Amino acid sequence: MPDQADLARMRRSYRRARLDIPDVDADPIVQVRRWLAEAVAAGLREPNAMVLATAGTDGLPSARTVLLRGIDARGFAFYTSYRSRKAAELAVNAQAALLFPWIDLERQVAVRGTVAKVTAEESDTYFASRPRGSQLGAWASEQSAVVAGRATFEQRLDELRARLAGAAVARPDDWGGFRVTPVEVELWQGRRDRLHDRLRYRRDGEGWALERLSP
């Protein structure tokens, strides 16, 4: 187990790339899609994994890793139970932050924005694309609720498998997607001596202002 001194010595010098304003697209969504494609091409594990941070009425933030399931001009989409903790917090504070930690590329993307549910049609389409086990799991689990033990929802899952054998699994009404519409997107590229490159897109009317931040 590493002690405090071991942790203090854990460091690496970032040297893979550099980043400047002329290197990036004027549209942050286009640029994030470009970096995502490079993460996929590099063989990164779960390149679409992103940390989602939310906060409820108490102001205390919570974070978890979710998977990006859609990216277009409207923003970044993910799917979850509408009874989950994240959904409860978004219901009272429809703002969130995202972080893509592409560590092997010495890169990260940080997003801040507003959040709204995707359409029922979008949720239906995505739910239909999920593996059957995941579809059944959405019915079996009351996400974020306290449960006596794993056997509780495993028994529920077995009952669902038996009852729905051979039948299509419909999307639960309390399960679907959210979309984060960005107001700010930051690109981070690691550099030597912790003098990292940071470029920030900031919503400016109908367009974007692009600026460099100090490391």
Structure confidence at residue 10 (pLDDT): 84
Indicate whether 157 belongs to any domain. no
Exposed/middle/buried for 163, CB within 10 Å: 0-12, 13-18, 19+?
exposed
**Cα torsion at 154, 157, 158, 160 (round to 10°)?**
160
Question: Which is it for the CA torsion 178, 71, 46, 187, positive or negative?
Answer: negative
Indicate whether 143 belongs to any domain. no
Indicate whether 139 belongs to any domain. no
Question: Residue 96 is inside which H or E element, if any?
Answer: strand 95-102
Indicate whether 6 belongs to any domain. no
3-state DSSP helix/strand/coil percent for the chain, to nearest 5? Answer: 35, 35, 35
Structural domain that includes position 79: 14-131+173-213
- Separation between Cα atoms, residue 101 and residue 99, nearest integer Å: 6
Q: Please report which residue ranges of 82-196 form alpha helices under DSSP H.
A: 85-92, 120-129, 132-140, 150-163
Q: Give the mean pLDDT per block of 10 residues along the chain (215 residues).
A: 83 88 97 98 98 96 98 98 97 98 98 98 98 93 84 87 91 97 98 95 96 97
Indicate whether 159 belongs to any domain. no
Provide the 8-state DSSP code for 27. Answer: S
Tally of domains within the chain: 1
Instruction: Show which residues are catalytic.
Output: 194
Indicate whether 156 belongs to any domain. no
Structure confidence at residue 42 (pLDDT): 98
Q: Distances in Å between the alpha carbon of 190 and those of 13, 57, 113, 187?
A: 8, 35, 24, 10
Structure confidence at residue 180 (pLDDT): 98
Q: Residue 57 sits in a domain of what CATH number?
A: 2.30.110.10
Indicate whether 150 belongs to any domain. no
Phi, psi of 170 (to 5 degrees): -80, 155
